[in-house]
């Protein structure tokens, strides 16, 4: 009788379709069947022996295969468990990194809805994590940046990457925080599409950038201040150089030297006969002197500056030169090599008197350079105008002095003759004159003497103007000089109905001075006092103190207004034309007196009050 064989005993289930439990069950059943056959020891026919033997062999092979498969599955299971453990550890590490990252990380879907966030993002936004999940990320962007975030996120959804866009995030009621935003689309197995956002707090970076910008502004301001200081120093030096001379040629030379420090070439033109003429230039290239008027561009700018009285910029040229070997600057300008320049007109009293031309070897002239050139030109124009007027005044003064000298010499000879003959007649030569005739001759002599004094005044003024007045220093007895002056002034004061007084110390030591000039100074001051005093008295006094001899001439005359106290010492100036006509005189007395006093290392000053008289003080060194 054939033993019952289970349906699965004659075939082996493929191991790739078995799970571990089924395989273990099949192995267990096979073992049980083999053991049963061995235990039964059923006698079999000759025909059944091969079948049973083959079946046993097949079962043994299947058993061996099943055992190997079991071992392989166990190994795979162990490997899978290890892989699952490693994956879990890796996921935990990622989660730790995600949570502990210093930058804020946010995961959103395609609509921008927040799916996940880390601790840094929570702290950055200042909102609890549970309040962030499910909220649109745009809600936490500063209002003024939301439109830009939406625009950029649409591009991220389209596949682009947002790299370090700087914006601001802020939870409601909290101040905005500057962040650098990076966003990208990521595909995963769990979620087909995710969008990961990295928010980096750039507050410190913004502060550092602002600090850097502040340093840059401070540096720029310092450079600007230094530039302004250099500019002011240059202009101050220019004023000293140009204003330090009254010679027009020296002014031009100084201007050329100053301008040459601003550019490769400098030239000065002055208008003569209605046309500009080159009067000075400086600058060179490889030893070649510049002739800027040879350039058509310079001539055009020069003409425009003359016509408009405004600075003109000579533009850079980009046309290549005809001769690449040309090195002379003017040739280069003429041939169109890029150069720049400026023409600043010299304008004074609304008239263009010339121009300053600056040419640079590279296109460097800007608005500030033009202003500097214009200011230099203004100072030069003023200095030239002053020098020209001074030269004209000097020429007029020389002509006046020559005229006065000629007239004075022509008058002095006949006046000397008149005085000489009057002295002879008063001396009884050739006959003794009757009393009435003596009175007339005395008046003639007095008038002639007065006119001769005026002539001497004019001649002294001329010598002082020409710096030809000699000084002879010697010990001078003051009382003797005062006596001479008093002898001449007292008759004039008496005729004017005035009292003349002299107040001198009991003992007077001689002073070291020029006797003739001291006599003339006192005579001029006393004559002026008598001339402008209608009633009262004129007093001459002296005191010596602190090494100075102080002479005072006091009167009770008309006085001088405060605004005229210094003008009375100007040549040919008198207080009032009516007084001038009444008192007469040339208007040189006080001017000559002060100049002579200063020539003697002293001075003359005045104190006065209208209607209360004047006091003129002469100070001279006593030793």
If you average pLDDT over each of 6-10, 62-66, 402-406, 544-548, which comes out highest? 544-548
- Span 477-485, mean pLDDT? 90
What pLDDT score does 581 carry?
40
Predicted local distance difference test score (pLDDT) of residue 536: 93
Answer with the residue of higher pLDDT: 620 or 163: 620
Does the pLDDT of residue 471 top 60, yes or no? yes
pLDDT of residue 574: 63
| Percent over 70 (pLDDT), the chain | 75
- Condensed to tens digits (0 to 9), the pLDDT of residues 596-605 reads 999 999 999 9
Does the pLDDT value for residue 616 go beyond 90?
A: yes
Is residue 195 over pLDDT 70?
yes
Q: Which residues sit opposite 535 in a β-bridge?
A: none
Mean pLDDT of 438-454: 77
Task: List, for residues 177-188, the tens digit of each pLDDT value.
Answer: 899 899 999 876
Q: By mean pLDDT, which of 26-30, 385-389, 471-475, 476-480 is the weakest?
A: 26-30
Mean pLDDT of the region 94-101: 68
Tokens 């200063």, residue?
598
Query: pLDDT value at position 576?
Result: 54
Q: Say what the pLDDT of residue 474 is.
A: 92
**Lowest mean pLDDT, pick from 362-366, 504-508, 590-594:** 362-366
The least confident of 25-34, 303-312, 419-428, 591-600 is 25-34
Query: Is the pLDDT assigned to residue 217 strictly greater than 90?
Result: no
pTM: 0.46
pLDDT attached to residue 58: 72
Question: Do 513 and 620 meet the contact criterion of CB atoms below 8 Å apart?
Answer: yes
Q: Is the pLDDT of residue 449 over 80?
A: no
Q: Which residues contact 586 (CB under 8 A, 6 or more apart)?
A: 454, 457, 458, 572
Which residues touch 471 (CB under 8 Å, ≥6 apart)? Answer: 514, 517, 599, 600
SS3 call for 127: coil
Q: Is the pLDDT of residue 200 over 80?
A: yes
Residue 373 tokens read as 């050139």
The helix or strand, by DSSP H or E, that contains position 324, with its residue range, turns out to be none
Contact 604, 616 (CB under 8 A): yes
Residue burial 340-350, b: 16+ Cβ < 10 Å; e: rest? bbbbbbbbbee
pLDDT in the model for residue 327: 40
- Residue 387 host element (H or E): helix 367-426
Supply 232's token pair.
């002011």
pLDDT digits over 324-341, tens only? Answer: 433 444 555 444 444 578
Distance (Å, rounded) from C-alpha 122 to C-alpha 138? 15
Does the pLDDT of residue 563 top 60, yes or no? yes
As given in the structure block, the two tokens for residue 276 are 């500009």
User: 446 or 303: whose pLDDT is higher?
Assistant: 303
């Amino acid at each position: 009788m054939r033993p019952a064989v289970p349906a699965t005993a004659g075939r082996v289930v493929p191991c790739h379709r078995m799970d571990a439990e089924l395989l273990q069950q099949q192995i267990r059943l096979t073992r049980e069947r083999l053991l049963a056959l061995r235990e039964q020891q059923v006698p079999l026919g000759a025909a059944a022996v091969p079948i049973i033997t083959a079946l046993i062999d097949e079962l043994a092979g299947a058993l061996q295969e099943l055992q190997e498969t079991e071992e392989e599955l166990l190994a795979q299971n162990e490997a899978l468990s290890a892989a699952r453990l490693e994956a879990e550890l890796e996921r935990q590490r990622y989660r730790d990194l995600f949570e502990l990252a210093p930058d804020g990380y946010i995961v959103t879907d395609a609509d921008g809805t927040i799916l996940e966030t880390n601790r840094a993002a929570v702290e950055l936004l200042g909102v609890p994590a549970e309040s962030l999940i499910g909220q649109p990320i745009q809600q936490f962007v500063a209002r003024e940046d939301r439109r830009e975030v939406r625009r950029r996120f649409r591009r991220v959804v389209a596949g682009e990457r947002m790299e370090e866009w700087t914006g601001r995030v802020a939870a409601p009621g909290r101040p905005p925080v500057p962040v650098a935003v990076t966003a990208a689309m990521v595909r995963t197995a769990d979620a087909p599409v995710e969008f990961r956002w990295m928010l980096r707090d750039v507050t410190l970076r913004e502060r550092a950038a602002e600090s850097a910008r502040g340093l840059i502004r401070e540096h720029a301001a310092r450079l600007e201040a230094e530039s302004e200081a250099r500019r002011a120093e240059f202009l101050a030096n220019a004023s000293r150089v140009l204003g330090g001379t009254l010679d027009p040629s020296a002014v031009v030379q100084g201007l050329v030297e100053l301008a040459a420090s601003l550019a490769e070439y400098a030239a000065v033109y002055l208008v003569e006969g209605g046309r500009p003429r080159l009067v000075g230039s400086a600058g060179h290239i490889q030893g070649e002197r510049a002739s800027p008027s040879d350039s058509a561009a310079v001539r055009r700018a020069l003409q425009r500056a003359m016509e408009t009285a405004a600075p003109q910029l000579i533009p850079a040229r980009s046309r290549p030169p005809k001769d690449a070997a040309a090195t002379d600057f003017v040739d280069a300008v003429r041939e169109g090599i890029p150069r720049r320049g400026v023409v600043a007109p010299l304008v004074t009293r609304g008239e263009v008197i010339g121009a300053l031309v600056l040419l640079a070897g590279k296109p460097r002239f800007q608005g500030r350079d033009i202003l500097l050139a214009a200011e230099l030109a203004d100072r030069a124009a003023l200095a030239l105008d002053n020098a020209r007027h001074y030269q004209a005044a000097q020429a007029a003064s020389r002509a006046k002095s020559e005229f006065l000298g000629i007239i004075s010499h022509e008058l002095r000879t006949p006046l000397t003759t008149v005085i000489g003959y009057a002295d002879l007649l008063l001396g009884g030569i050739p006959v003794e004159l009757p009393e009435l005739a003596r009175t007339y001759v005395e008046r003639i002599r007095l008038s002639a003497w007065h006119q001769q004094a005026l002539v001497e005044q004019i001649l002294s003024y001329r010598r002082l103007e020409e710096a030809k007045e000699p000084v002879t220093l010697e010990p001078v007895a003051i009382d003797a000089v005062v006596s001479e002056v008093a002898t001449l002034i007292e008759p004039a004061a008496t005729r004017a109905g005035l009292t003349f007084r002299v107040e001198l110390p009991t003992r007077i030591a001689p002073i070291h001075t020029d006797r003739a000039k001291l006599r003339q100074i006192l005579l001029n001051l006393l004559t002026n006092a008598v001339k402008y005093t209608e009633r009262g008295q004129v007093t001459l006094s002296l005191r010596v103190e602190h090494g100075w001899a102080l002479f005072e001439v006091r009167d009770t005359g008309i006085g001088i207004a405060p605004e005229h106290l210094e003008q009375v010492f100007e040549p040919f100036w008198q207080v009032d034309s009516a007084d001038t006509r009444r008192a007469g005189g040339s208007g040189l007395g006080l001017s000559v007196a002060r100049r002579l006093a200063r020539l003697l290392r002293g001075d003359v000053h005045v104190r006065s009050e209208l209607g209360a008289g004047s006091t003129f003080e002469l100070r001279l060194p006593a030793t």
